[in-house]
Amino acid sequence: MLATLVAAAVLPLAGTTVVIDPGHQLGNHNFPSSINRLVPAGGFDKPCNTTGTATNAGYPEATFAWEVSVALRDRLRSLGARVVMTRSSNREDRWGPCVDVRGRAGNRIDADLKVSVHGDGSYAAGASGFHVIAPADRSPWTSDIYRPSLRLAGAVRTGLLGSGFPVANYIAGGDGLDVRSDLGTLNLSDIPTVMVELGNMRNASEAAVMTSARGRARYADGLATGLRRFLG
C-alpha cells in the first residue's frame, strides 16, 4: 500500500482532474429532433448538437474525436490525472450530450481544465492546420475563465506544434489561436476551457493523418504535452 501511495504521489499529474469532451456523437444524425432542440448556450440558445463533419471518404469527425480523446485519456491517466469524459461511447444508437451539458461538465467537481476535441470541415481552397479556440472575455459568462483559458490555449498550441502539426492557414491571425463568444461548450464553463480543431478533415493530406492510428497518436501526444505544460 505504501509503495502504491508513493508511486501515485510522484506522478506528474497526480491530484489533477481533466475533463475531455470528444466532439459530437456518431449517432447524432439518427436523432435530428433531439440534436436540433434548442438549449442554453450562454445568454442565448443554440441547437443541442450537430452531426459534425467527415473526411471526403466518410470517416466521421465524431469517431476521430473519440479515438483521439481515448488515447489522450490513457496518456493523462498514466501521468496520474483523474480524467472525466463527457461521453462514454461512440455509437450509431446514441446522441449528444447537448452543448449545455458539455459546457457545464467539470464545474461541480472543480476540475482543473476541460478540452473539447474536434476536427474541422472547411471547404476553403488549401485550408489546413489546427487551431485552438478560447472563450471571449464576456461578463458574466466567461470573464472569470478568460485569462486562464488563453494560457491553456497557448499551452495546447505549443504541444501540438511540438508534435509537428502546423497552425491553421485559414483562421484570422495566423497564430493558431482563436477567440469566440458563440460556443456553449466554452460559455457555460467555470473552469479553464478550450476547443481544439485538430485539422481540416476535408484536406486530403490531413485526412490521411487523421485516419491513421499513428496520426491520432501524434495528436494525443501533442495534446497531452500541452495539458501537462498548463498544469505545471
**Predicted pLDDT at 10:** 87
Query: Smallest Cα–Cα separation from 159: which of 201, 122, 121, 117?
Result: 117
* Residue 121 belongs to some domain of the structure: yes
pLDDT exceeds 50 at position 143 = yes
**Predicted pLDDT at 113:** 98
Query: Smallest Cα–Cα separation from 120: which of 51, 30, 28, 202?
Result: 202
Give CA torsion, residues 63, 128, 172, 137, to 10 deg: 20
Contact 147, 207 (CB under 8 A): no
CATH code of the domain containing 171: 3.40.630.40
Residue 229 to residue 166: CA distance in whole angstroms = 19
* Residue 180 belongs to some domain of the structure: yes
* Residue 155 belongs to some domain of the structure: yes
* Residue 7 belongs to some domain of the structure: no
**pLDDT tens-digit readout, 173-214:** 999 999 999 999 999 999 999 999 999 999 999 999 999 999
Residue 161 to residue 195: CA distance in whole angstroms = 16
* Residue 1 belongs to some domain of the structure: no
- Our answer to whether residue 67 is catalytic in this structure is no
Q: How does residue 4 score in pLDDT terms, banded at 50, 70 and 90? A: very low
- Name beta bridge partners: 47: 38
* Residue 3 belongs to some domain of the structure: no
CA angle 141, 143, 145 (to 5 degrees): 95
> How much is the average pLDDT of 14-32?
98
Q: How does residue 79 score in pLDDT terms, banded at 50, 70 and 90? A: very high
* Residue 2 belongs to some domain of the structure: no
Sequence-separated (6 or more) residues with CB below 8 Å from residue 65: 22, 23, 24, 52, 117, 118, 119
Which uninterrupted H or E stretch holds 57? none
Catalytic residue (one of 61, 67, 197, 206)? 197
Contact 157, 132 (CB under 8 A): yes
pTM, two decimals, is 0.95
**pLDDT tens-digit readout, 106-129:** 999 999 999 999 999 999 999 999
Residue 225 to residue 69: CA distance in whole angstroms = 14
Parallel, antiparallel, or unpaired: how do β-strands 45-47 and 38-40 relate? Answer: antiparallel
Domain housing 117:
13-231
> How much is the average pLDDT of 12-22?
98
User: What total number of domains does the chain contain?
Assistant: 1
User: Can you say whether residue 110 is alpha, beta or left, with left for phi > 0 and alpha for psi between -120 and 50 degrees?
Assistant: left
Percent of the chain exceeding pLDDT 70 equals 96
pLDDT exceeds 60 at position 3 = no
* Residue 5 belongs to some domain of the structure: no
Query: Smallest Cα–Cα separation from 118: which of 141, 146, 86, 142?
Result: 86
Residue 30 carries which DSSP code?
A: G
**Predicted pLDDT at 8:** 52
